[in-house]
Amino acid sequence: MVTLMTLAYAGRTDLQQATVPIVPILRTECPPGLCVCEREILLADPEADLRPLRLTRMEEERLLDRIDRVSSYEELTALQARIRANLGVELKIVPGPNEVRTLRGILIVLEDRPGLCKKVRQSVPAALRRVLDRHPEITWAILDAHDLFGR
């Protein structure tokens, strides 16, 4: 990796002419045996989509804070689109196959994908359940979007 010091010694002072490779910050490896994220397989494949690995622990906290601030169905759908665009992962929020009597009848699933930590796949749905518990109007909008109210 080229640093500013080596650029100065090479006689280059113009940073626009120098090409510095950008190395993405990836999530640190989980302890062996605790996670099934298949990080090694993903890193070994040069064609692999590394977007799920770019969700560092700090970024995960920011995501959970953002989920916690959701206050409308529109914000929730925008958040789903951002997760799809930034992580390449689908966040599915749908009514369950049986009748929905409580919040537990809503299925919240973060798509299982190589590179996505097990902890993230559990914490995102849990944060969404807390939001739906605080804002029942979002739950009603989800049900309405799936034609369960018949409107």
Report, as an integer, the average pLDDT of 28-52.
82
**Mean pLDDT to the nearest integer, 85-91:** 92
Kindly state whether residue 6 falls inside one of the protein's structural domains.
Answer: no
- Residue 27, domain member (yes or no): no
Q: Report yes or no on whether pTM surpasses 0.85.
A: no
**pLDDT band at 135; cut points 50, 70, 90:** very high
In which domain, by residue range, is 71 found? Answer: 39-145
The tens digit of pLDDT for each residue in 5-34 reads 444 445 555 555 556 556 567 778 777 777
DSSP per position, 6-73: HHHHTT---TTTS--PPPPP-PPPPPTTT----HHHHHH-TTS--GGGG--HHHHHHHHHHHHT--SH
3-state secondary structure of 151: coil
73, two tokens: 């169905």
Please report which confidence band the pLDDT of residue 124 belongs to, taking 50, 70 and 90 as the band edges.
very high
Residue 129 located in a structural domain: yes
What is the identity of the amino acid at 71? Answer: S
Give the pLDDT mean for 35-58. Answer: 85
In a domain, 133, yes or no: yes
Q: Take residue 133 and report the two structure tokens written for it.
A: 């518990």
Q: Which of 58, 1, 2, 3 is nearest to 26 (CA)?
A: 58
> Mean pLDDT: which of 59-63, 97-101, 103-107, 142-146 is highest?
59-63
- Tally of domains within the chain: 1
Distance CA 43, CA 46 (A): 7
Does residue 28 lie in a domain region? no
Rounded-to-integer distance, Cα 55 and Cα 26, Å: 7
Mean pLDDT score of the chain: 81
Buried/exposed code over 32-63 (b: 16+ C-beta within 10 A; e: otherwise): eeebebbbeebeeeeeeeebbbebeeeebeeb
